[in-house]
Structure 1
Amino acid sequence: MVHKLAPRLGSEEHVADTVTTPARANGTQSLPASSQQRFFQSTIDALPAHIAILSERGQIVAVNRAWREDSERHYAPMVRGRVGDWYLEQGEDDVTSGIQAVLSGTQEEYAIEYRGDYQEDWKWFSLRAAPLDYADSRCAIVTHEDVTRRVEAEHARSEADQALDMLAQAAPLAIIALDIDNRITAWNPAAEEMFGWTRAEALGRFNPIVPETDVPQFLDIVASLADDATNLTDVELHRQRKDGVVLDVSSSIAPLRTADGQIRGSMAVLTDITARKREQEDQRFLAEASELLSSSIDYETTLTQVAQMAVPRLADCCMVHLLESDSSIRRLAVAHADPERQELAQQLKDHGRLQMNGAWGVPVVLRTGEPVIYGDINSRLWDTDNEQIEHIDILRNLGMSSLMVVPLIAREQTIGTLAFVASESGRVYTGSDLDLAMELARRAATAIDNALLHHDVRQAEMRLRTLVEHVPAASYTAQADDLRVMMYVSPQMGLQDDFSADDLIADPGLWLHMLHPDDRERVEAVMLACSASGEPLKVEYRIVSADGQVKWQYDQATLIRDEAGQPLHWQGVCIDITDRKHTEATLRIRARQQAAVAQLGQQAMGDIDLLTFMD
């Protein structure tokens, strides 16, 4: 059984091109001499292919050793017959017709590849017939070769190419191949979806996804593939869609080579990382904003700086509005990306105050606490608010085309807004822009809340300090690990202008110096023991002023801890007990005097009794 492919005419070099009869070599038409005949026979015998010479009528006039041996053992269907046999009478119709066409001169060459059954094994063979001048007549040289290995390799390569093509078609990543001139030769469905060009539109074009400004970089990359013969992995590049939108992509690029190793083009696998890059940029922007917001408790100043940060990252113009206690709207800050337009934008800040009954924009957000996006500003929107015509005229002059307003919410109250205006950039705000703006507003509102809390705490501290400083007792705050080191001292701790409260804080040793020498060692030991144990301090001692005046004090302190039980500081109070001590001393003296008088009285009574007895 014989399987044949379509004839291949003049498709490849073949052994017949190397065979020349001695007569042709000498330029003669005479019959070859015996030596020439032997030379010719030796030549074709040395060739590995099966070779047969056919006369003009198709009779075999010569064969080489390979033909002779393999025809006897039926090596292949087309290798048959001995010298003198009529070859064409035994062959397939199309093969016979092809060889006859060569013999008649109507066809210069005939070639066919077929699959034959050889010893229960299928093999691929190639048969070729070409004209040959032999013995003054037009003959044909028939060459026959086993091409199984080549055909199977081609089939395997074809199957691999088909598998690769199927993989490329199904792959979720854009796969693009270029020829040596950087024209598209492969363009899978993912590339169509990512960049917008269909396969038919892309094939044959110079790489259309490279922005004009990036062409030099692209050519350098292609040249590096040829020079270094290495692959490039995860190269971050800018590539553009059919609609002109520029994408951030991660590209892995490899050279394509011919069978002999020559570079014939390149292939790239591209991943759209635009969203990832934007997320990274958003996080960097928010981190910078948070650092700025936490740098000061003056939230009005930091909000002004945030507005300046937002351009041009989020807007061409950014405005900050705060809701006042009288329900009017104060425009705190205005920043524009274009310095030449900053003066015009500043007119918004200087142009009075917005009213809460406005029909759109900032007033709506302040009333509802919900963000709004106006993706496309049109005349109908302008016309809905006749109360603020001058304000609208300024926005028109700024070229506002899209607007996004988000609330600033602190303590569950809407206290202001951030407004983002798009104009020259042509940006149209979407949900992803709103997510970033809302997060920025949340952090700004947190900073405002912290500032308000700090203000409240400071007010409470001032009220408490005022109260403390107007009571007769003196109070102090000391370090958690050492009662001797003061952190705060009320003014009452000073003694007759000898030392101020600030002096006691600045010099921890000053207080010990003020203690009476007889009390100093005892009191310091008690304080160190309480500092180590955390037990409450209760101690009485004397303080000596610079003029030698001695005063008694009662000192009591408690260690303050946080919710986790960790020490924060000591909170103490000192009470002047000098009068009490003097009273106690006076009472003791009077008691002793009374005791002495009583004793003298008793003694006198005894003396009287004695005299009476003697009388």
Structure 2
Amino acid sequence: MDDGKELTDLKAELEKLRKQIREFEQISNQNKKDIGTSARHPWRNDLILHNSPDGLALVGMDGKIIDANPALCRILGYPKDELIGIDIRILEAREVPEETTNHMNKIAKEGGDRFETRLRRLDGSIIDAEINTNLCDNGDERFFITFTQDITQRKEAEEALRESEEKYRTLVEMSPYAIAIFQDDKLVFANQTAERLIWGASGEKLIGRIGFEMVSEHDRDRLRDYAKKRYQGDSSAPNHYRVDLIRANGEIFPAEIFSNRIIYRGRPAIQLMATDITDRITAAKALQESETKFRTLVEQINAVTYEALPDENVSAIYVSPQIQKLIGFTADEIISNPFLWLGQIHPDDRQRVKDEIARTFPHGLPFSLEYRLLSKDGRIVWVHDEAIPKCDAQGRPIGFHGVILDITRLKETEATLAFSEKRFQQLFNSALEGISIHDPQYIIQFCNPSLANIFEINDVSEIIGKSTLDYMPDDQKQIIIDQLELRKKGLATQYELNIVTVRNNRKTLLVSSSPIFDPDGKFQGSLSAVIDITERRELEKIQNTLMRISEATSLTESLEELLQTIRNAIGDLVDTSNFYIALWDDNTEVYSFPYRVDSISPAPGGPVKLVNTLTDFVRRTGQPLLATAEDREKLGLSVDFDNINKTPISWLGVPLKIFERVIGVVAVQAYSSEGFYTERDLKYLSMVAGHIGMAIERKRAEDDLRESERRFHDLFEHFASGYILCKVVTNDAGQPVDFIYLEVNKAFEIITGKSATEVINKSATEVFPIDYDIELIKLCGEVALTGTPVRTERFSLATGRYLEMMIYSTRYGEFASVFSDVSEKKIAEKALHDSEERYRAIWENSPVGICMTDPNGVYHYVNKTYCNIYGYSSEELIGRPFYDLIMPPERRASARVSFAKNFGKSKTGELSETEIFIRKNGEPVSIQFTSDYVMQDGQPKYEVAMNIDVTEKKRAVDALRESEERYRLLIENADDIIVNLDYSGKILLLNRAAARYFKKAPSELVGQTIWDLFPAETAQHYIASVRKTLDSNETLNI
């Protein structure tokens, strides 16, 4: 009821605003003939309109554009000279062209109009635009004034917001997990799964219930305490735990709970996700019982079994007797001395073992290690240690069960093989880096072909046996010596060298070297990898030069100063001793020289023709030219000037282009053989030519700007949107504290109800004290002082409406603002944003990985948990098919076909069997998932999949199953007869050796008693002995 009343009030307020706007428009039409006389400062209006970021145009009554500002040219992608004279009906991209004519007729009749339309740019692309148009009647002439804003991004954002809201709503309602949100200990949201699977009640019955009445009594306080801590922002409270829940029929079942603190409808809340884990617990319990039975039968295997605590010393609480044969210590010695076990691990391996335990144990992970033990008599014993966590009834790890195998002989064999194996010759020779091994005296013992190529030497045989210092310039030799001394101390080093190759080419090398020591710790030499980084350093030099040119374009005031700076900058790349710029005039067909420096040829006295010259050739062809004196003669070209005694022997010229139009040539020339230019110089000069052309064009544009200012001097008053020009007021610290109105237009007076005489030369805080907004003052001040334009929206208490403002600086310390009434749009946007934010919060914070894919398997959405599971960022996933990223390579082709074939047909809502996928780093990950479809027009558009990472759980189960199987096989294949009896003498289990002894199949023997197999007297004696052994817990030998 409150929401309905609020909507009614909003509609009434909107109707009131519409009525006021119609009244203001009527007043504006009555005063149009007086608009042109109200401009107080025409030069300010001209400056404001020219610098406006929104498009302005004068349009004749026939619909053709008379004039346009730069912003409109930029919006439509037209040069100004092509835009002038175009009929505006050609620009409008509408299916019904008569609508443009209807708007013109309406404006001619009513004096103004504001509407949205679609415009076609010069390149054919379509943009959304908002048009404000007024009729201007100065008595002698009538024309339209249009104000154009590009609203394409705003339209796209509105559409994206609507799609996002629908997407998140669908994701929540279709989840196979029970999702509930609690505020103030009460349920405020529950999805369909929560209603159906957990409680079985309708949404109306659930909403408002006490939050924890469905939790069993023994878990209720604990869960309430956790939820309270998470609600208060305490991140130390667990967000994943197991509790017992109560169904509506009173049935109690185990559940897995994920919790998270979210913001729901503007307030903190707790989100819970629940799923039934009854089947999982039953299976785990059966597997644990089976493993316990077989573990007790492995004391005679050829391996050491143990149980240890995860403390600092890895204290053993059980070790099998085989430990004495392995390292000479008895099991009792190791168990009674908590420091002994860790102390017998080789010092070089000890920390690695401790680190692996610290990495795996807290997460309940198994570990597998190879390390060395020190025996009692000083021998080194290599062992392979396999261990899995021992967990309590709640699944918490409390210790280790492990098996240790003696692999000393295997390791000795591996060491012998590694020592005798060829030095990885194929890998060594095929490496792109230059690799070498040299002794302590710098002599190269081995090297690959890449190193010979770097030094431009034909064969590696020419290098081996030579000293590294033989190939180094004198100023680099000390670097080699100093780096070698560091490696003798055991340090790996990386450094750069500048060399000259045998072919006299200069190169920069990056060298990475590591020391080589023998088993006794004696330094034997170095292993080095060399990379040629000459090109990388040259590219850095080019980048620095272009940055200097870019900065100079903004900082210099005159064209001559800019060109002098450009010459100095490119002088680091190309010899600019003889440098000039020649500009072409299309009207007079002559060249002028705004900048020229030459040691031989003087500058011309004025413009020249330069027919059939090198400069004219480059301008006509539009292509760079590198030419010697011989090349010039072959082309039939002459030098640029005849009044010189010496002609250049090397000439390099590049065209200056503006939008593919050649406006001139930049050139350098050399008069001696030392200054010959190369293809590298041609590349460098071509890179900067575009920057030079843009600088010259900017200067020419300044003259056009003055003419444009004159033509726009009276447009300020003609816009339907409000315009103001203000001067910022600052305090002693230079911070904006107020602003003074210098100029306002008629629309401002209509919107605010204030006349120009009430506002001009007065401060904002004086004119609108009710609207005093220090943040708005700061924002306007920053624009005026920094020159950075901003667009913002504010609610004005003085007018009672939302205003959209475009604020930009006209000169330092001043700003102009264009503002429009956007109250209706703001109300609609807020309602849509609130709904989208509510559903986004639920899924972005979900602890379950969620993705949404189209029929081609391409990702359209992933949440943070999904990215964490597979190790990708959302940017790496969106737009790419899942089977190319997370499917094992051998399954990708079949997955692509299967997914496309079954899209929309697969069974939904149920958890899958565990499947293996691949993380970004190549590691496998075990996933259980469920999926459903997002429907559109009755057809599936997207598949939504919920992913649960069960990798660690699967590894633990697999390890437990493997342990059980290993013990079972050891017993089954043992040569000794193994029989497991109960107290009454009935056979529970026996191995194959026992079956062979009794000459029966194992299945025939299980369940029989000793009396079935032996004479009564023998059976009685044996059973008596067995019972005595069981009662005393001693070993029986019969």
TM-score tier (shorter): 0.3 to 0.5
Give the structure with higher Rg (CA): 1
User: Per chain length, whose mean CA-contact separation is higher, i.e. which structure has more relative contact order (CA < 8 Å, sep 6+)?
Assistant: 2
The TM-score normalised by the length of structure 2 is 0.30
